[in-house]
Amino acid sequence: MTVLTPKSSLTPVKYKAYIGGEWVEAAGGATFESEDPFSGDIWALVPRCGKAEVDAAADAAHKAFVSGAWPTMTATARGQLMHRLGDLILQNAEHLAEIEVRDNGKLMAEMLGQVKYLAQWYYYFGGLADKIEGAVIPIDKPSVLNYTRREPLGACAMIVPWNSPLLLLSWKLAPALAAGNTAVVKPSEFTSCSTLEFAKLIEAAGFPPGVFNVVTGFGAETGEPLVSHPKIAKVAFTGGDASGKRVYQTAAGHLKPVTLELGGKSPNIVFDDCVIDDAVKGAVSGIFAASGQTCIAGSRLLVQQSIHDEFVDRLVKFAGTAKLGDPRLMTTQVGPITTRPQHKKVLDYIAVGQQEGATIALGGKPAEVEGSRSGLFVQPSIFTGVSNRMRIAQEEIFGPVLSIIPFKDEDEAVAIANDTIYGLAAGVWTQSIRRAINVSNNVRAGTVWVNTYRAVSYMSPFGGYKNSGIGRESGLHAIDEYLQTKSVWINTALETPNPFALR
């Protein structure tokens, strides 16, 4: 069963927003363009929503939360809907992947597998929906029954970035729906189309109108009114730390809970007892996969001095073989930068690295790729001679730019790893179980990979320390972010005690 829009022709596809179970245009029919990062073609027109559409979506989500079919549905029935959605995702995975690749330029080789994997979040949390339990508390008060209930929060705003729209949406949406919440989603203005296609699957799965809504547009026009809307009970955001702080400040003004998954400057630490070929592949995976456009990018490669020169030589030779090309081809290994502002930012940081005195060991320039008219490619780039105080070692670049930093011993490696405002992820390459455990314990990061990199699962919590965010997504912990606890007291005494005294 295919329910998605077929691949577009030369005429741009015109999308509508999804609000209250209806497909609607923005006020006055306003739209903005979506550019294919590889071809440079304008392939879609997306509604430019504003406050009016945000108000309508928040109202619809709130109404669906407090009345109609959704709040009266059993948790088991909610789970069954989510399983049906998972089935539809699998049936339409190739279509969704094509839309993602066209919208953000990531590799089909990655996106097809990623979209197929999405279904597991809906299966996992769908199975968890009817296993949310309170507790009977053996209270210290005689003649009182005290128990707790775990209840949903309400209408939740979900603001999703451009690098992995459907994956990062699912990390929020699956636990939120399982807990009984409703959602208003604002995708990035650069990659809105896959979320609008996904809304068709929500509709086909049979979710009641208003449970899921999509408003598309820009931060100031759409995102800020959504975060501050009085009918939005919770905000889940993934993006840069500067934007995350603004979301946090706005939500705090309305006393709304938040989940923030923000930036990273993750250390990938290579010790001299590693399997060098494996660590070289891990370094490449950490920074050049997805063209470095991932929050968990291992953008700081810490290499022990005793193997530094040999390791860098092998790494430069291997990374230099990476095939840049059309992301739709399964043989392509590095695709374009997704947006024009990000392309400029990456090149600006390469210039900063040179000005700071680092040495370019590989790349360092824009790349021309056959068949691409966008001009959005950047060569995989490696800097050596980097100090951890340099901007290229401290600031998130979000592109295929690697900084290599030497270290003497385990203590220095951990000190350098932790010497950043971020704490999202880290990698450790060693054959010593003692070292693997000690370094994992001492690195201040929400995820630590040992002898692997860039692995995620619906079963394992994900989130950051320090400026990398607040809260956790995926795993059992995630559903707690979308629940609140109510304490119920029932007096069973035959007589009422003194009404003027605390009971």
Active site residue 295: yes
Residue 315 CB contacts under 8 Å (≥ 6 apart), including other chains: 280, 283, 284, 301, 382, 404
Buried b (16+ CB within 10 A) or exposed e, 251-273: beeeebbbbbbbbbbbbbbbbbe
Residue 250 CB contacts under 8 Å (≥ 6 apart), including other chains: 224, 227, 228
Which residues face 465 on adjacent strands? 423
> Of the residues 53, 110, 295, 473, which is catalytic?
295
**Helices 93-104 and 108-128, interaxial angle, to 10°?**
120
Q: How far is CA 312 from CA 268, 379, 387, 417, in A?
A: 14, 17, 16, 19
Question: Other CB atoms closer than 10 Å to residue 27's CB: what's the count?
Answer: 13
> Of the residues 35, 197, 221, 261, which is catalytic?
261
Residue 300 CB contacts under 8 Å (≥ 6 apart), including other chains: 265, 266, 267, 268, 388, 393, 403, 405, 416, 417, 420
Name the token pair of 267: 């250390």
Report which of 445, 415, 447, 449 is spatially closest to residue 430, judged by C-alpha positions: 449
Asked whether the beta carbons of 154 and 233 are under 8 A apart, the reply is yes
Asked whether the beta carbons of 2 and 25 are under 8 A apart, the reply is no
Can you tell me the distance from the alpha carbon of 475 to that of 124, in angstroms, rounded to the nearest whole number? 9
β pairing state of 425-429 and 381-384: unpaired
Asked whether the beta carbons of 134 and 488 are under 8 A apart, the reply is no
SS3 per-residue string spanning 80-135 = HHHHHHHHHHHHCHHHHHHHHHHHHCCCHHHHHHHHHHHHHHHHHHHHHHHHCCCC
Active site residue 261: yes
Q: Which residue type does 166 have?
A: L
- Coil, strand or helix: which one is 156? strand
Q: How far apart are the first and last CA of the chain?
A: 60
Instruction: Burial-class residue 118 by CB neighbours within 10 Å (0-12, 13-18, 19+).
Output: buried
The dihedral of CA 295, 115, 195, 210: what is its sign? negative
Residues assigned a catalytic role: 261, 295
